[in-house]
Structure 1
């Protein structure tokens, strides 16, 4: 895949959307989300997926196909469509299949790895991933348990964290896909410091928060109550917070989680670091399940996804709600724009901006091709 130059591409944002597991609700929520004219006006889109599955989903939803189609080997930033499907017709997943399978795992992995390659080549400005099945990936002999780990490895990012946005709440997780009883054996100062540090950077780079104020949750009930209910707060969390503070990060804690999330929802903190998966996910989904967005931070590529799964039980029945997918798409666009504005323009020795004489913002946006 050839890397594009700045002079050869359209300046409108181009977002890659991976279709997810072909047997899940991914095709349906992708079609329904991109069918919204407001979403299509916001950017151009390349869908990494299977045209047959997308057409089937459109037919069930009584939506007239609104996209162009090209073979996935020939993707380009300059398609004359607002939406184009990079079609992987070498894969065949029967429409009646509504469960994990090896072929669906292989296909959904390929969608992701090709989207990452396109982002590295400058063809797309961000990636939105529809839900995958971890069981399908395991059947396909994947070495990654999910999207976060795949993106970190392919982007060669030594650090990564999972972040969620739901209404006023922004949450990063210190541990991700670990059994609850396994956390104690893998709970270190580094695994608490890392999401604090990455979250601080993400709030600045992606959300335009100049001086983030971050709340850090305790692990145990009442944040340990001075060691009565566990010593992880004193041994691990407080040293991690101190380390972050020494690097100039404004963070506070450990705070009992039940109090912290209330304070964060009221706006007392810009974001929260939760210690384990469900500690963070329960308030996120209670607060705004239909619009919650998952973000991978710490990688060089913008990557978002809806905060729900494949929902095999309703797949193919035209029952899936596309709200979270729409939110993930719009957030990816907003993050890519903020990142572009946040990144300083390189300056040549002459004092002029390096590269083109004009900035991206100076240039005309291409016409809105339906």
Structure 2
């Protein structure tokens, strides 16, 4: 087995959620070890307790450094970052203690990715209430990762085999969306999407569709003028910068055309505009990936599922897809770095 397989750091997520279970259900598959070297950032005792819920026979092995694992199917290599008592950690209930723990897992994995000690991070679900109880000012992964990596320009992409959507606004009340949208932030999202599709997904000339905001994309101003005054100027500016962007398109049709393969991604104006069609197609295998960071980050596209935590009903499909996507992105970036190094070497020789 190739020892150069990328090391993928998997953060355990909320200890009171289904993160520990889907880790067991994913890392019992030999196919994961054929493509990468997975390391869990989490809690060894909680992972051990989760064996009961999943009928897992995987061994839990504590390691100190990411490259110290055996990386063999049948064992989970974990960097132990908390010492929670499973008997006192109530499944399905957020707490300040679990909130502090899940943030620590994310921060440690992020720092190691920044230091190039791991190739990518894959995050299991966290709970906003647990984060708030811990005193965190963040409501989720994206903003926490952006600050930890000093990233100002970033975007959320939801990706599957048939559809990719990228959001201009994320967790914004619907009534506030028209007030926040501007040609500048739409252009920034198009730019980040185009660059990420090239570098992280290996697409030479990405085709990007931009959705309108209003029904029928405004119908020439009959149903709103945001398309004419805000979205179209951003698309035109993107074209002037050399990006293969088009729109604004009516939101009720553009996802159909994108799913057929006419476009590599759809830039969406608000959260539900993109996530409703995406989850209709990729409810069990969708992946959340943050674009614009100096590290690779993919994530499951679901929450902590408190209602089924500990029942053995968790579906690992999204985590498996997130690991696979992290590996593909790492390979694309590694290939790009190799090409850049070869080009620099060639220039030196000349």
Q: TM-score, normalised by structure 2?
A: 0.93
What residue in structure 2 maps to residue 49 of structure 1?
42
How far did 1:307 drift?
0.5
Q: Is 1:106 the equivalent of 2:96?
A: no
Contact 2:45 2:83 in 1 (8 A): no
Contact 2:91 2:310 in 1 (8 A): no
How far did 1:210 drift?
0.5
What residue in structure 1 maps to residue 222 of structure 2?
228
* Pairs within 5 Å for 1:210-221: 210-221=204-215
Q: Which string of whole-angstrom CA distances, capped at 9 and with x for unpartnered residues, describes residues 103-151 of structure 1?
A: 1111110000000011111110000000000111111121222111111
- Describe the shift of the 1:229–1:104 C-alpha distance in structure 2 as closer, same or farther (beyond 3 A): same
Q: Which string of whole-angstrom CA distances, capped at 9 and with x for unpartnered residues, describes residues 8-52 of structure 1?
A: xx6321000000000011111111111111112211111011111
Aligned pair partner of 2:330 in 333, 336, 345: 336
Partners in 2 of 1:101 and 1:317 — Cα distance?
20
Partners in 2 of 1:165 and 1:349 — Cα distance?
33
Secondary structure of the residue aligned to 1:202 is helix
Partners in 2 of 1:30 and 1:271 — Cα distance?
29
Q: Which runs of 5+ in 2 are unaligned?
A: none
Aligned pair partner of 2:52 in 44, 51, 59: 59
Q: Is 1:242 the equivalent of 2:236?
A: yes
Partners in 2 of 1:335 and 1:286 — Cα distance?
24
- Describe the shift of the 1:338–1:67 C-alpha distance in structure 2 as closer, same or farther (beyond 3 A): farther
Aligned pair partner of 2:67 in 69, 74, 77: 77
Q: Is 1:290 the equivalent of 2:280?
A: no
How far did 1:78 drift?
3.5
Q: Which runs of 5+ in 1 are unaligned?
A: 1-9, 355-370
Q: Which string of whole-angstrom CA distances, capped at 9 and with x for unpartnered residues, describes residues 50-80 of structure 1?
A: 111111112221111244213xxx3232333
Contact 2:66 2:79 in 1 (8 A): no
Secondary structure of the residue aligned to 2:31 is helix
Aligned pair partner of 2:150 in 156, 176, 183: 156
What residue in structure 1 maps to residue 341 of structure 2?
346
Secondary structure of the residue aligned to 1:46 is strand
Secondary structure of the residue aligned to 1:203 is helix
Q: Is 1:281 the equivalent of 2:271?
A: no
Contact 1:57 1:318 in 2 (8 A): no
Partners in 2 of 1:172 and 1:350 — Cα distance?
36
What residue in structure 2 maps to residue 19 of structure 1?
12
Q: TM-score, normalised by structure 1?
A: 0.88
Secondary structure of the residue aligned to 2:9 is strand
What residue in structure 2 maps to residue 205 of structure 1?
199
Q: CA RMSD in A?
A: 1.8
Aligned residues: 342
Structure 1 residue runs of 4 or more that deviate by more than 4 Å after TM superposition: 347-354
What residue in structure 2 maps to residue 365 of structure 1?
none
Contact 1:35 1:66 in 2 (8 A): no
Secondary structure of the residue aligned to 2:62 is strand
How far did 1:248 drift?
0.2
* Pairs within 5 Å for 1:282-321: 282-321=276-315
How far did 1:187 drift?
1.4
What residue in structure 2 maps to residue 165 of structure 1?
159
Partners in 1 of 2:340 and 2:229 — Cα distance?
43
Partners in 2 of 1:350 and 1:336 — Cα distance?
22
Contact 1:25 1:320 in 2 (8 A): yes
Partners in 1 of 2:251 and 2:343 — Cα distance?
49
- Describe the shift of the 1:106–1:349 C-alpha distance in structure 2 as closer, same or farther (beyond 3 A): closer
Partners in 2 of 1:342 and 1:129 — Cα distance?
24
Secondary structure of the residue aligned to 1:290 is coil
